[in-house]
Chain A
Amino acid sequence: MPLSFLTPLFLAGLAALAIPIWIHLTDRERRDVTAFPSLMFLQRVPHQTVRRQRIRHWLLFLLRSGAVVLLVLAFARPLLDRSGAGGAFAGGREVVILLDRSFSMGYADRWERAVSAAGRLIDEVGERDLASVVAFADRAEALAQSTADPIRLRAALDGARPQDGPTRYAPALQVAAQILSDSKLPRHEVVLISDFQRAGWNPDEAVQLPSGAWLTAIDVAEGTAPNLSVSDVSVDSRGSASAQQLLVTARVVNTGPDARRNVEVKLSVEGQQLAAQSTDLDPNSAATVHFPVVQFPRRLALATVTAGEDPLAGDNTFQFVIAPHRAVRILLLEHAAARSTETIYLRRALNIGSDPGFDVVTKPIAQLATRDLTGRPGVILNDVPYPGGAAGRRLLEYVTEGGRLLVIMGRRATPGSWNSTGGIVTGTVAEPVDRLRDRGGSFVVVAYDHPVFEPFKAPRSGNFSTARFFRYRGYTPDDSSQVLARFDDGRPALTESAVGEGRVLVLTTGLDNVWNDLSIQPVFLPFVHQVARHVSGYGAPRMWVTAGQVLDLRDQIGDPATGSEPPREVVIETPSGDRILREFTDEEGQYLQVRERGFYRIRPVDDRTAVLTTIAVNMDPAESDLTAMDPDELVGAVSAGTAEGDEVQAAVVLAPDERERRQGLWWYLVVATLLILVTESILSNRVRPLRGRPLTSERP
């Protein structure tokens, strides 16, 4: 149990031992100098030397020296090393060094301390030992595996850098377990060097080390780690086709015990600061910052929100992309004989939409041509009989190839036509149900988690119960269909079924304000917009993604609204400047895992200036919460469950300052110093009780 010191430089204070020595030998007398008119007679008397005085006050000297020594030791902050792992083992060791390189390790000097600790472990690797260096964030990577070559181990360690990924302990422990299980050496050791971020450990993850293994945790965090981060940004854009007004709101989080005052939060677009706000943050709290409305051209732009400064600067800046919304392209098919009063509600509703707007093409269903379906990811059949014939085949083909269809069944949607669609409508359509006698039925949503009804999930966000449905089609969906809403008598109101690669939604009542009064209810407009977005497969452009996510590049580059195909090859420029060539010839090339914070720029191979799209990548907000867990908790979880008598040996090596803080030896030293000083005072007064005021003469 060797003793070490957290601040050994303070040991230089032991030189202060000279003070009591000096006091006892010389200064005590010098300080009490007595002025005397003349030493003429004193010099004739053989005077006593100070040596005798020192001997006489030997106990006082020891007490004073002891007080100085203890005080210096207290300032040097001693700590005991109680770890039992590590060191030489005669039979050879298999040592796995798990080095946390997650984003949070970039805080202050954690990474340097972690590398230093790993370096010391490598230095301890003997000739008969094998060691591995496994760096991990959200996934683990063996940088050097089972080698006794210190050069390789050092090279692996030197090559490791903190990443922008979140902390996940389970993958690293699994890699360690795999290495140990393959080892034939008698002693197995795992050393986990980390800041032990609580967010990185899920107690439900069942990770077990091989029995008999030693697990040592080295905590490089140093007490509390205040951190400021921007966890979320929302952008509300309004305006014309050429210019837009951006209303940006940012959420700033303070994960620390201290309040932060006047934190400056800045909004920059395309490198230009457009707005700045200051906010106050209480300890462990979040604040929402609303920037004033800023004008910006309606085009794709890279934007950032930056808040304050702290030792972990990476999460103080939040990147996002401002992209103009694409119009939802809808083909609206109506009956040739439909009067305008029948279709006006649906048409007006689709014309009102903005962000996204709706690009609606209306045609009589009898005139449906193949080209009409091209570039139209969504088709609405507004109360029409199934066309049959070539038009019917085109619709079926359209759906089975991935198209989406909304069938609104009003009085013109006769059961005879819709029960013979060849698979577009998978259920059975029946005659209308008349609810006039009981003053109409009501509409009950049964699948609020469905994208159509998701916006209405929260209370007071849309009330369907005010609408009265006097007539609706009887409809019996097949088992593969999902009923999204029903009438109050249990009959389906809205269903969705998969047909081939496409989807078909069936609304069993019209939207012409005849069979029901839904079209004059407040909920009608958002309902229609939501259904239209779902039918067209519209997805709001993502302003950012989280580091570590896997993206489908086809979705990022291709335009599902227009049906345009992405190029076969693209170049991805990462935030760090690396260029990655991707070919979409197979699925592997189609997906990209973003690992770095910043902006990923995707461009064609043959054009350096063109930009197909830009992806903003931010840290997982959970990684910004630097709250540490007790290493004992993790060690205990990994050690648990092994057979009795052959369990995992666990030891926690805390960061020196944390260890020193827990041991608190300095406190005992200070108390001992005070006791010694009190004793010294009492003893000093007893030893020299008659020492009077020295007779001195005032000097002019």
Chain B
Amino acid sequence: MRGSRFLDPRVLARIDNLELLARTVVDGFISGLHRSPYLGFSIDFAEHRAYMPGDDIRWIDWRVFGRTDRFYVKQFEADTNANFSVILDVSRSMHYGSGEVTKLDYARYLAACLAYFSRRQRDRIGIVTFDRDVVDHIPPSAKHLDLVLHTLDNLEPGGEGLLEQPLLKIAESLGRRGILVLISDLYEEPDRILQAVSRLRHRGNDVMVFHVLDPAELEFPFDGATHFEDLETGERIPVVPEDLKERYRHLLAQHIRTLARLLGEHRIDYTQLDTSKPLDYALFDYLSRRQRLSRVR
């Protein structure tokens, strides 16, 4: 069984244990990838290098000195020790799915995989869920993987969703800088989204936005006159889908483009995800983001 199969959301939906799911996905994903290029002081030995004045003499490998009579210091794989927090939208609109996997399910898998992946990177991981307010808040910690996974496992769709208020609260509660991953369907005006998300960057946090959409939201494959009901507000409007399909797609594409542009301008990574697509796309995106951050650092 190839590891890529475990990235298919439809397959993941059949795995009840979220930790097993995350481990399966991440291990399958990173197998074959090169090891982390970021070397540092860690418990995992990487190589030796010649002692340079200023190096901590604690890291001199005395066994090598005994064999070679030269000073070498140990180098280890980097242990980033960054704070990694998933900020997950659990509003009712996320509880939508045209297939087997709802957006919330997809976000749950993604968050679990990122948390597991981050934990492998020795990050402290936490999670915040919100709808129009903060629902659950697990602060980042090296020991919180189980708690985060448990929280993800027990997610319930909430009510109407808003970004501004909960994200403001989250920004205020963050202690040290870290990596923040916002997973949401972003049904708000781009300006308001930008305003809310920008607050997360105030203390130097690195913010990544995953915009999760269902294929039905993207394609709008409906036909026949019907009433559409807003999952969050319950509002209904009569719709003839055939007549407004193109217009809808245009508006949504414009929304996505605007978000990508505005967030990019503010150095916020934006990734639009399709819940029918495998998770590796998101994981790759995350990984490349981490790589860039390391270079910057």
Could you list which residues of chain A lie within 8 angstroms of chain B, going by C-beta atoms? 28-30, 32-45, 47-50, 52-53, 688, 690-692, 694-695, 697, 700
Contact B236 A33 (CB under 8 A): yes
**Contact among A33, A41, A44 with B226 in the assembled complex (CB-CB below 8 Å):** A33
Identify the closest chain B residue to A44 (Cβ). Answer: B251
CB proximity of B282 to chain A, nearest CB, Å: 19
Among B157, B222, B239, which residue has its beta carbon within 8 angstroms of that of A695?
A: B222
Give the distance to chain B from A691, nearest Cβ to Cβ, in Å: 4
Q: How far is it, in angstroms, between the C-alpha of A43 and the C-alpha of B243 when the chains are bound?
A: 13
Quick check: is B20 within 8 A (CB to CB) of the other chain?
no
Could you say which residues of chain A place their CB within 8 Å of the CB of B239?
34, 42, 47-48
A690 closest partner in B (C-beta) = B223
Task: Choose from B156, B185, B223, B225 the contact partner of A37 (Cβ within 8 Å).
Answer: B185
A47→B96 contact, CB < 8 A: no
**A447 CB, min distance to chain B CBs, angstroms:** 98
Query: In the complex, A53 Cα to B102 Cα: how many Å?
Result: 32
On whether A692 and B95 interact (CB within 8 A), knowing A29-B238, A30-B236, the answer reads no
In the assembled complex, the Cα of A191 lies from the Cα of B250 at a distance in Å of 82
**CA distance in complex: A36, B96 (Å):** 7
Other A-B contacts than A35-B96, A36-B228, 6 sampled, CB-CB below 8 A, are A29-B225, A29-B227, A32-B226, A34-B226, A40-B187, A697-B96
A688 touches B244 (CB 8 A): no
Cβ-defined contact, A48 with B240, below 8 A: yes
> Can you report 21 A-B residue pairs in the complex whose CB atoms are below 8 A from each other?
A29-B226, A33-B236, A35-B229, A36-B229, A37-B93, A39-B233, A40-B187, A41-B251, A42-B244, A45-B248, A47-B243, A48-B225, A48-B244, A50-B225, A52-B240, A53-B225, A691-B224, A697-B95, A697-B231, A700-B156, A700-B157
The one of A33, A38, A53, A697 that contacts B240, using a Cβ cutoff of 8 Å: A53
Q: Chain B nearest CB: distance from A377 CB in Å? A: 103
A39 and B234 alpha carbons, distance in the complex (Å): 10
User: Which A residue's beta carbon lies closest to that of B249?
Assistant: A41
- A27 to chain B: closest residue by CB: B227
| Interface residues, chain B, with chain A CB atoms under 8 Å away | 93-98, 102-103, 156-157, 185, 187, 214, 216-217, 221-233, 235-240, 243-244, 247-248, 251-252, 255
**Given known A694-B226, A695-B98, contact A41–B93 (CB-CB < 8 A):** no
Residues of A within 8 A of B243 (CB): 47-48
Report how far A52 CA is from B214 CA in the complex, Å: 30
Please determine whether A38 and B187 come into contact, CB atoms closer than 8 angstroms: yes
Residues of B within 8 A of A695 (CB): 98, 216, 221-222
Across-interface contacts of B156 in A (CB, < 8 A): 700
Select B247's contact among A45, A52, A700, beta carbons within 8 Å: A45
**Bound Cα distance A700, B93 (Å):** 12
Q: How far in angstroms is the closest Cβ of chain B from A488?
A: 107
- The answer to whether A45 touches B251 (Cβ under 8 A) is yes
Most chain-A Cβ atoms within 10 A of its Cβ — which of B95, B98, B185, B226?
B226
Across the interface, name the chain A residue whose C-beta is closest to B244.
A45
Residues of A within 8 A of B223 (CB): 690-692
A692 lies within 8 A of B224 (CB): yes
Q: Which of B98, B228, B233 has the most CB of A within 10 A?
A: B228
A485–B100 alpha-carbon span in the complex (Å):
110
Task: Report Cα–Cα, A44/B95, bound state, in Å.
Answer: 23
User: When the two chains form their complex, are residues A48 and B95 in contact, meaning their CB atoms are under 8 A apart?
Assistant: no
Minimum distance in angstroms from A636 CB to a CB of chain B: 64
The reply to whether B95 and A700 contact each other, CB–CB distance below 8 Å, is yes
B240: shortest Cβ distance to chain A, in Å? 4
Q: A33-B236, A697-B97 are in contact. Are A39 and B244 (CB under 8 A)?
A: no
Residue in contact with A39 in the complex, picked from B102, B157, B185, B237, CB distance below 8 Å = B237
- Expressed in whole angstroms, the Cα–Cα distance for A45 and B228 within the complex equals 13
Q: Name the contact of B228 in the complex, choosing from A42, A49, A688, A690 (C-beta under 8 A).
A: A42
The residue of chain A having its C-beta at the shortest distance from the C-beta of B93 within the complex is A37
Distance, CA A30 to CA B229, complexed state (A): 10
Contact B230 A38 (CB under 8 A): yes
Report B-chain residues with C-beta under 8 Å of the C-beta of A29: 225-227, 238
